[in-house]
Structure 1
Amino acid sequence: MGGIGKTTLAQLVYNDEKMQSFFDLKAWAYVSEEFDAIKVTKTILKSVTSTSCDDDDLNLLQVKLKEKLKGKKFLVILDDIWNENYHDWSILRAPFEVGAPGSRIVITTRNRGVSSMMGTIQAYCLHVLSNDACLSIFTRHAFGAGDFITHPNLKDIGEKIVIRCKGLPLAAKSFGGLLRFKENPDEWKEVLNKNIWDIPKERSGIVPTLMFSYYHLPAHLKRCFAYCSIFPKDYEFKEQQLVLLWMAEGLIQPQEGEKEMEDLGKEYFQNLLSRSFFQQSNYDSSIFLMHDFINDLAQLVAGDIFFRMEERFGASKQRKIYKMARHSSQQGGGTKQFEAFSELTCLRTFIAFKLPQSAGCLAPEDPLQLLSKLQCLRVLSLSGYGIYKLPNSIGDLRHLRYLDLSDTPITSMPESITTLYNLQTLILEQCPYLKKLPSTFENLVNLRHLNILNTFSLEEMPPQISKLTCLRTLSHLVVGETSCSGVKELGPLLHLQGTLCISRLENVIEPRDARDAKLIEKSGLDGLLLEWSDNLNESKDRTSELDILSMLHPGGTLKELIIRCYGGARFPSWLRYSSFPNMVLLRIENCKKCTSLPPIGQLPSLKDLSIEGMDSVKNIGAEFYGENCYQTFRSLVTLYFKGMGEWENWISYGEFPHLQKLFIGDCPKLLGKLPNHLPLLEKVVIYGCWQLVVSISSFPELCQVEIERSKGVVRGGKVNFKSLNFMSVSTISEFTSRIKGSDMDGLTMVENLAIFKCKELAHLWTDDVGSLPQLPCLRVLKLEGCTKLVSLVAEKVEEQLQLGMPSMVREIKIQNCIVLESLPKAMMYNNTCLEYIQIVKCDSLLYFAKVQLPPTLKRLEIIHCKNMLVLLNGDNTNCSSNTSLLEYLYIENCPSLKSLTSSGELPVRLKQLSIRYCQKLETIAKRFEHNSFLEIIRISSCESLVSLPTGILSLCHIDEIDICNCATLVCFPEEELLTANLRLLQISGCEKMQALPNCIHRLASLQELQIKACPGILFFPEEGFPINLRSLVISDLNITEALFEWGLHRLTSLSRLVISGGCQHLTSFPEKKLPADSLTNLTIERFPNLETLSSEGFRSLTSLEQLRIEECGKLTSIPEDGLPFSLLKLIIYKCEKLTSFPENGLPLSLQQLSINRCPLLTLQGRNPFDEN
């Protein structure tokens, strides 16, 4: 897409000093949408000659350019090309063919069609930047610096602005330029809330850049793109979903004799995708979305006939509804929002999008009441909402072509739906309670797509579905017990495409019915699932199932086939190579009576094969490979066996020349050995094969080995595993005898080694024959449940130091090695890469290290080591941590730990210190004077800790201090100089804490203060709270001062206030004004004598959005004058004497109301739910 950095990247390459020495000549030409070969040639000629050329004859220009390029190694950048005409490109490129080998032409384009037409190598597609990278660009243009160090007060707003950029560097640059040298937070907030299209074009490159992409689209694609404005930002969609919507709205109109609408729609979609109007999801290649700015562009070009309601009704940012709007969508909200659509009588599209992670936030009747007023609808989607049934009036929507009721609790559908004769698409996916479809379903003669995937309660198909001859998609056919809902109904449906699932095949009685389904004639199908129920009576005669499956012969175009719970003793003859040249995936599951596998070794395209739950198969041999055993499974990449309870032998008769991944799980009787020749095998996973000794001698390309619950693993011959970088062995019953040092010699490239539950293992590295080799490439070592492991390196080897652990290890995790006594000395001195160590439940460890920590260690975690006394145990004061690079130290549940270091000093580069549940810990350190890098300190449940180190509030980079449940801690040390950066201070459960730091008001950056369950604190400091607090939580303190003396009204930035317990005297709240303009979240709980809420106090809270009132047993009413009109969420819990709401009801702004354990509360006057 525009603005993502294509030209910038090309400029960096072009201007790099290395290019000067590598290329003889360089040239740059900006092409743009008007492809002029003469103009481009003249520009290149001028670059290489440094002189202008006035000729306009292309032939003369190219002759001159050839002379300059002949025999020279050149770099030419053609920037921003749009033209896809191959003829034009072939003319332009002619002079370049005389250059020397190594010459390069680089193009930048927004259109992948251009890159595929011009390129000889795969295009490099730029992705959006990370937030951190965008932040760096933004701050450099806003401040001329890479961060907010000089402007900390603008950091929060700036980070929110950068989030809006969604990784687009041009946006970060534009926003940063807008704010260049502006230091007023209000100006920054204005930019944060400004629509990108409101920024003047001369001040932002984003608008013209994106508009340029749109104007370059052909007319039919402009209409299709504008329709995408109905999608909310960040909405994820699939190709077919959008194509079907375009079809329903008539945006795809093929000429007579042209392609089908669906095929033409796919071309439209791919065209927009290639121009970067859509982006592919990072986690699923079948899911797409639009960048926020592209979404804004769609709204801009769509105009008023498209309307999208996303915010609460009446919000200032919500666009006014245009009564002639044709297409609309809505996200979230309730009845009031839906009423707004009742006047849009010309509406053709209505899509109600479910809010993320909400479960049907609409009452069932909310959208349905609209249907009678929206007679022009062509598209109706209520996916994900609480719709239990449709009204009969649905049949009045005569123009409806697209109906989506997926993911709803609908139980049945009215017969009137079958009068929707124009309906093209009906989506009922994931409707778990839908049991049947209307009996006259065959009337929907124009239906092209019926999706009932994962609608598991559907008992059978409606009768005579064979009349729906326009069907292209039928996701699922549930075979009924009657002939008119049987499998033969598929026969006339010749246009079926995609994937078809046929379930309950046990209801097919006559094989001729299966033959009449004519699957072999359905060339459009590329996926087929044939399924019998898995809970059939064991006494049922299933001998006819072979004949039935034989008649369900699919067409030769099939790419994926799954056969599940088939009850025959063997497979039909059609399942062989000659039938399916295109098949890439085959799964055979829970066919428990089959005694052998089908001969599938000759399927030429098969890449993924899964065999599972074949309980009667004892041997896999020649029958599996097919007729020619020497050329088998020529394309297979992944092979998966699981749950083969009786499988004993695998006799290999052929090769797997391209197999990369092999999985064998829960085959307890498997003895034999794996196939010998797997030249490309990269990953082996074996588990639950207790009799199997795994030999890996024939797998030279292995990258990953995982063996669990097996008898053993051996390497065999002298094979060097040049690619093996991950090895995991777990619960190997004969570890010491089966894994020999000589067997492991070839594992020199292993980077990741995991050994689990090998209970005979005493040492990893010894001078014995059974030792592991040095593993020079080892980066990650994990050990777990090795209950006899005394040390990683045997004592004799330990004494030599130089023969210790591999020196390149970066990460070590050791867990449940209960007799481990010490870690190698060499690890503390010689290892130059070790950065992370985690030790869990190693009860015999008394200390982590002597004298010093590993010099490069950055992160250390010690958890549940019940006998550890000290972290760093030096015999004298020379014990040093000053040279350590440790940044993160986490210690949890070490009940014997008394101190961290014998010297009383912590590593000087420490950034984060967390200690939890160390009951005997008496001291953390003597002082913090050398720990200026500390950012976070968290101390919890250390009952013996009496004091904190001096300097804790003077650390220049400290951001967060959290002290919790330290029962004997009395106070903070007195500090002279205070940090300017502390953002969060939390003190809770410190019973003997007597006071807050006297200097707390001077912590200018403090934004969040929490003080809980510290009964010894009786007063707040006289100077009050830090003036910039945003969140204040006070809980269970015996404060004797009146609430209004706390000085809360002076906290003009306070947005969240929680007061819980301790206010015994308070009968009315609030007694005085709170921070009216800033407070958005207020919680009051456990006020035992609170009787009323102050009308005056609450009226002044004009920004309040959330109010929580809990356990106020004497509270009787809500203020008669009502609550603030800004309120969105009200929670009332355990207010036993509360009897009523105000007569005027609750604020119309309210979106969520929760009432619990208020037994006397009645709804007097106007029902507060009428308007909400």
Structure 2
Amino acid sequence: MVVIAEIFLSAFFTLASGELFNLALPKGIYSQLQTWTSKLQLIEAVLSDAEEKQITAKSVNMWLQQLQDLAYDLDDLLDELATEALRRKLMMAQPTQASNPSLFRNLIPACCSTNFTPRAVQFDLNISSEIDNITERLQDLLKQKSDLNLMREHVGGTRSRRTGDEIPPSTSVVDEYSGFYGREKDKQAILAQMCLGSESSSNRRFRVIPIVGMGGVGKTTLAQQIYNDEEVKNSFDLKAWICVSDEFDELAITERIYKQISSESCEFKDLNMVQVKLREIISKKKFLLILDDVWNEKYGKWDVLSRPFQAGAPGSTVIVTTRNVSVASIMRSVPDYHLDQLGNEEICSILGHHARGWQNFDAHPDFKEAGEAIAKKCKGLPLAAKSLGGLLRTKKNPNQWKDVLDSKIWDLPTEHNDILPALRLSYHHLPSHLKRLFAYCSIFPKDYEFDKHDLVLLWMAEGFLRPSETHNEMEDVGFQCFDELSSRSFFQCSKTGAESRFVMHDLVNDLARNVAGRVCFRLDAESNVQDRDSLFKARHSSFSRHEFDGSQRFEAFKRVRKLRTFLPLQDLKTYWWSSYLTNQVVNDMLPQLHFLRVLSLSGYNILQLPNAIGNLKHLRYLNVSGTQIEQLPESVSELYNLQTLLLRGCSRLTKLPTDTRNLINLRHLDIAGTEELQEMPLGLCKIASLQTLSKIVLGGGLKVNELRGLSNLRGALSIIGLHNVMDAQDAREANLTCKQGLEELEMVWSSDFDDSRNEMIEKDVIELLKPFSNLRRLEVKHYGGVEFPSWLGDPSFSQLAHILLSDCRNCTSLPSLGRLTSLKKLHISGIKGVKTVGNELCGVGGPHVGDAFPSLETLEFVDMVDWEEWSTNLSNDDANFGQVFPRLRELIIDRCPNLITISLSRLPSILVLEIHRLNHSNYREDEAARSISTKAERIRVTAFHLAPLSTFIGNQKKRKAHQPIRALSDGQSSNRAESEKVKAAKRKPIFQPCPASVATLATSSSATTSVEAKDSKEQPSAAREVTRSPRVQKTT
């Protein structure tokens, strides 16, 4: 299939907009543009008919391919002309450069000089010959159009359905309650095979249950239901889910199993050592392992992978999902479980649910006939029903459902890659602008997790997005398009749970490759000779980054003439800390790809970019994140079309191009994680289009008030060097209050608290840097004022979920944060002037009614060296308040040597309590202290003398409802401590405290306490490991 409409319309839109006609072009070129416009209108009228006929008419398909090539070439030519307009506009805006004739001439292409002629254009930019070539090809296509008898667009055509295909806003979100239809018997049958609660009668210590079925039939969904079943959770000590996919790499799979089960990274790269470690962890433990989407047919590979599994306890189970019976035959220990297609009743339920939220069509007779007929066409595939249901959401008329049923595309034969007509039909009914966006996603390999925001930036760079009537910003248009594709089930949320991470189902990925055709090319193991021979027609290419990528790997690219996309992707099956790309590729090959719009070298261990990169005039997206470059070449500032510049994690980067301000189309500049970058180029904040500026370093002539011009800032902003602000009014002029798109803000002063610091100025500065109330995360570091700003803790910040206050050593009190209703995590460290923390932290004393910190889940106090007392007890005068910390799950106190008293109100939800490295402690035994809940699943105390923890936890069947924390200071009687040790020794379990020990205490919700002593050399990261319910065995 050929995706043509949107690339064609992109070129047509540029011509029709009239922008190019405003340039000082010679009359010959001007007349040609007018001629093109009229001819393109004739072709545009028959596009819908051609795209539908190409399925069965090969001649129409070939005509569309020629038109597609012409559309891309035309789009490139028009973009080149528009780029010249940008250069001229910038030149006129900087008249001072005219004083430097040499520089002036370098900035002006020959085609823009005063003696502009077609011959000069042909000599310098070959534009004239390109125009002649396009004119000739366009005329030929018009002649073929007449011979093919293509019809003008009629009512009911694809493009006329654009309005009808739009998804209402309420349905543009991924359906998270899709239901589990028709698979309960399958689930119970597999659970019976697993013999839950009993040991295996087989000689093997683990059983392998293959679930076999065609793609899209629901194998993964069924496995997920089993994996998350409560009975299963109670029956296994360890669980892991591994998506294997095409490449069966024994080492990589073993590493991933080890990482999931142990929650630790694997430092070994030797298969034997990794398997030994895995065998130790699962030894005599009952485990459940899901190997999803397995394609390996070599018994030897499975035999090697499975050897550590023999150490598991009887009853351990491996569930394998695969499309291939031969794969199952080499792995199974019990008969395959064949997952058949669902019955029409279940498919009707899925279709009705996703189409209109109906259980079936019985109560909707107008839709019943067409709905059930469409369900039959799904041929039992849940994925097909879900996709078509998303399509039918916008079809509110029964006749529209019949149109879908009667579509000729149903009759397409099923191909070897299992792309069904149902999925093709869902694609066919997409609006043309979504078709191109979806087809572009064929550059992603199967099972690849892509980020929603990253994909939108790529779409924008490729020219797929244009402002609409409802959205002025291209990014917003992209997010809306993404949500539409998600609601139609072309994208699915990743199983990792990350909110912005998505994947495409295998069938959907096959569909994308099928419709994209030769335009998108993946340089991977499955790329055959034919693919490489047709590469010269490709416009977009991606490939998995290897540890070493030499020039030979990219030999095929020598045949590419007009590639737009060069995109390396992280191979999720291999974990390279860094990859190496030969200089021949960077310095020789890439500069020859003149039409690149997307260039990524992210993750490669490159040291510099060639100066010739400035010749890539079409470039919109440049990603060198995670590389070793120290500075970008100055020629980057000549990339006038550049929209996105990503430098995240370039730890050696020290300098940005001096004339970065010339990048007048730059919208996203990500320089997070560039600690060596201590100075910003002047004029950077004059780029009014900037939406992402992850970091700004004040000083060297750059003032904080220059932020006032960046009204479109979004996402995260880190302001470094606030100690350089000498006039507090500059902070007011920064106008952060009006930057509604900011969600994360970091304010950083110098960590050097010398005499040059002015506490009063810093207090005024932070007061005047009040952000907009949409803020979700706030971090304040090295602030030198004596008190926090009045706005910090204001209830109007209703979305603020994370606060970090670090090394604000001059502050003598903490801000009132208890009225922040969305605050989930609070980290306070290094505030050395605070001695007492009381109810002021909770916001007591104001008009607030209700709980204090109603949503807080994690609270950390670190390095509070002068802190002596913490009390949250409420008096009768505080009757307006409810509970304090009602949802607090984790409380960490670390390196607070002088803390003597903790007197807390009830903590009903506490699960984790950690107290580390206190010199001495003596907690009061008043009623408030006794009210601390004992629901904690882990209590850990390190590096100080402590009385037996049984005085805090004890036997839950005999103890009082609440017990205080009580610790011994170094100055208390050793006899008393010894006596307590004797008493504790008579109990089971026991806790033996000593200065050089780390104690872990885990409790279940119903029974006794178990204690495990550990060496104090255990790393803090390990100490943070949360012990779960015994239903899921904790591993360390």
1:719 Cα shift?
A: 8.0
CA distance in 2, matches of 1:574, 1:538: 27
Match of 2:890 in 1: 661
Q: Relative to 1, partners in 2 of residues 1:174 and 1:473: Cα closer, same or farther, differing over 3 Å?
A: farther
Output aligned runs, 1:952-963, within 5 Å: none
Answer yes or no: is 1:487 the counterpart of 2:704.
yes
1:404 Cα shift?
A: 0.7
1:419 Cα shift?
A: 2.1
Match of 2:323 in 1: 171
Give the TM-score normalised by structure 1. Answer: 0.48
CA distance in 2, matches of 1:564, 1:88: 45
Answer yes or no: is 1:467 the counterpart of 2:697.
no
CA distance in 1, matches of 2:954, 2:528: 74
CA distance in 2, matches of 1:388, 1:177: 49
Q: Relative to 1, partners in 2 of residues 1:387 and 1:784: Cα closer, same or farther, differing over 3 Å?
A: closer
| Match among 229, 250, 255 for residue 463 of structure 2 | 250
CA distance in 1, matches of 2:577, 2:994: 46
Are 1:440 and 1:462, in contact at CA under 8 Å, matched by a contact in 2? yes
Are 2:453 and 2:500, in contact at CA under 8 Å, matched by a contact in 1? no
CA distance in 2, matches of 1:679, 1:155: 54
Answer yes or no: is 1:560 the counterpart of 2:777.
yes
Q: Relative to 1, partners in 2 of residues 1:672 and 1:300: Cα closer, same or farther, differing over 3 Å?
A: same
Match of 1:682 in 2: 911
Q: Relative to 1, partners in 2 of residues 1:779 and 1:338: Cα closer, same or farther, differing over 3 Å?
A: same
Match of 2:799 in 1: 582
Counterpart code for 1:327 = H
Are 1:174 and 1:204, in contact at CA under 8 Å, matched by a contact in 2? no
CA distance in 2, matches of 1:363, 1:434: 20
| Match among 813, 823, 830 for residue 606 of structure 1 | 823
Match of 1:624 in 2: 841
1:203 Cα shift?
A: 8.6
Q: Tell me which of the two structures has the higher relative contact order, counting C-alpha pairs closer than 8 angstroms and 6 or more residues apart.
A: 2
Q: Relative to 1, partners in 2 of residues 1:735 and 1:656: Cα closer, same or farther, differing over 3 Å?
A: farther
Give the TM-score normalised by structure 2. Answer: 0.53
Are 1:174 and 1:206, in contact at CA under 8 Å, matched by a contact in 2? no
CA distance in 1, matches of 2:652, 2:623: 16
1:651 Cα shift?
A: 2.6
Output aligned runs, 1:279-290, within 5 Å: 279-282=493-496, 284-290=498-504
1:267 Cα shift?
A: 2.8
Match of 1:637 in 2: 857
Partner of 1:544, secondary structure, is helix
Are 1:479 and 1:502, in contact at CA under 8 Å, matched by a contact in 2? yes
Answer yes or no: is 1:389 the counterpart of 2:615.
no
Q: Relative to 1, partners in 2 of residues 1:490 and 1:735: Cα closer, same or farther, differing over 3 Å?
A: farther
1:780 Cα shift?
A: 5.5
Answer yes or no: is 1:341 the counterpart of 2:570.
no
Are 1:730 and 1:756, in contact at CA under 8 Å, matched by a contact in 2? no
CA distance in 2, matches of 1:663, 1:449: 37
| Match among 201, 210, 229 for residue 136 of structure 1 | 210
Match of 1:878 in 2: none
Partner of 1:367, secondary structure, is helix
Match of 1:446 in 2: 665
1:323 Cα shift?
A: 0.9
Q: Relative to 1, partners in 2 of residues 1:729 and 1:395: Cα closer, same or farther, differing over 3 Å?
A: farther
Answer yes or no: is 1:544 the counterpart of 2:730.
no
Are 2:578 and 2:603, in contact at CA under 8 Å, matched by a contact in 1? yes
Counterpart code for 2:936 = C
Match of 1:505 in 2: 722
CA distance in 1, matches of 2:798, 2:968: 42
CA distance in 1, matches of 2:599, 2:918: 53
Match of 1:698 in 2: 931
Partner of 2:535, secondary structure, is coil
CA-based RMSD of the aligned residues comes to 5.3
Counterpart code for 1:334 = G
1:422 Cα shift?
A: 1.6
Match of 2:542 in 1: 329
Q: Relative to 1, partners in 2 of residues 1:565 and 1:315: Cα closer, same or farther, differing over 3 Å?
A: same
Gaps of 5+ in 2: 1-162, 195-205, 216-288, 291-295, 307-317, 333-412, 875-883, 971-975, 1017-1027
Output aligned runs, 1:887-898, within 5 Å: none
Q: Relative to 1, partners in 2 of residues 1:140 and 1:450: Cα closer, same or farther, differing over 3 Å?
A: closer
Are 2:922 and 2:966, in contact at CA under 8 Å, matched by a contact in 1? no
Q: Relative to 1, partners in 2 of residues 1:311 and 1:537: Cα closer, same or farther, differing over 3 Å?
A: farther
Spell out, residue by residue over 1:284-313, the C-alpha distance to the aligned partner (whole angstroms, 9 max, x if none).
44434445554444323321111121249x
Are 1:756 and 1:784, in contact at CA under 8 Å, matched by a contact in 2? no
Match of 1:417 in 2: 636
CA distance in 2, matches of 1:160, 1:219: 49
| Match among 238, 259, 264 for residue 451 of structure 2 | 238
CA distance in 2, matches of 1:518, 1:161: 59
Q: Relative to 1, partners in 2 of residues 1:261 and 1:777: Cα closer, same or farther, differing over 3 Å?
A: same
Q: Relative to 1, partners in 2 of residues 1:603 and 1:140: Cα closer, same or farther, differing over 3 Å?
A: closer
Are 1:744 and 1:773, in contact at CA under 8 Å, matched by a contact in 2? no
Are 2:780 and 2:805, in contact at CA under 8 Å, matched by a contact in 1? yes
Partner of 2:558, secondary structure, is coil
| Match among 155, 180, 183 for residue 299 of structure 2 | 155
Match of 2:654 in 1: 435
1:566 Cα shift?
A: 0.7
CA distance in 1, matches of 2:178, 2:481: 18
Match of 1:1002 in 2: none
Are 2:833 and 2:866, in contact at CA under 8 Å, matched by a contact in 1? yes
CA distance in 2, matches of 1:239, 1:837: 34
**More strand per residue:** 1
Relative to structure 2, which stretch is displaced further, 667-676 or 446-455?
667-676
CA distance in 1, matches of 2:451, 2:167: 35
Counterpart code for 1:384 = G
Spell out, residue by residue over 1:330-368, the C-alpha distance to the aligned partner (whole angstroms, 9 max, x if none).
344312333432332211111134664163411234233
1:374 Cα shift?
A: 1.8
Match of 1:1147 in 2: none
CA distance in 2, matches of 1:442, 1:510: 25
Are 1:398 and 1:422, in contact at CA under 8 Å, matched by a contact in 2? yes
Q: Relative to 1, partners in 2 of residues 1:472 and 1:701: Cα closer, same or farther, differing over 3 Å?
A: farther
Relative to structure 2, which stretch is displaced further, 510-519 or 219-228?
219-228
Are 1:731 and 1:758, in contact at CA under 8 Å, matched by a contact in 2? no
Identity %: 35
Are 2:802 and 2:823, in contact at CA under 8 Å, matched by a contact in 1? yes
Q: Relative to 1, partners in 2 of residues 1:214 and 1:676: Cα closer, same or farther, differing over 3 Å?
A: same
1:384 Cα shift?
A: 1.8
Are 2:955 and 2:1009, in contact at CA under 8 Å, matched by a contact in 1? no
Relative to structure 2, which stretch is displaced further, 703-712 or 457-466?
703-712
Are 1:730 and 1:755, in contact at CA under 8 Å, matched by a contact in 2? no
Partner of 2:585, secondary structure, is coil
Spell out, residue by residue over 1:833-858, the C-alpha distance to the aligned partner (whole angstroms, 9 max, x if none).
9x9999xxxxxxxxxxxxxxxxxxxx
1:179 Cα shift?
A: 13
CA distance in 2, matches of 1:159, 1:317: 35
Answer yes or no: is 1:309 the counterpart of 2:461.
no
Partner of 1:222, secondary structure, is helix
1:572 Cα shift?
A: 2.0
Q: Relative to 1, partners in 2 of residues 1:718 and 1:385: Cα closer, same or farther, differing over 3 Å?
A: closer
Partner of 2:536, secondary structure, is coil
Are 1:248 and 1:378, in contact at CA under 8 Å, matched by a contact in 2? yes
Partner of 2:827, secondary structure, is strand
Match of 1:571 in 2: 788
1:475 Cα shift?
A: 0.7
Match of 1:534 in 2: 751
Counterpart code for 1:623 = E
Are 1:395 and 1:418, in contact at CA under 8 Å, matched by a contact in 2? yes
Match of 1:650 in 2: 870
1:589 Cα shift?
A: 0.5
Partner of 2:705, secondary structure, is helix
Are 2:211 and 2:320, in contact at CA under 8 Å, matched by a contact in 1? no
1:490 Cα shift?
A: 0.7
Structure with max Cα Rg: 1
Q: Relative to 1, partners in 2 of residues 1:409 and 1:138: Cα closer, same or farther, differing over 3 Å?
A: same
Partner of 2:689, secondary structure, is coil
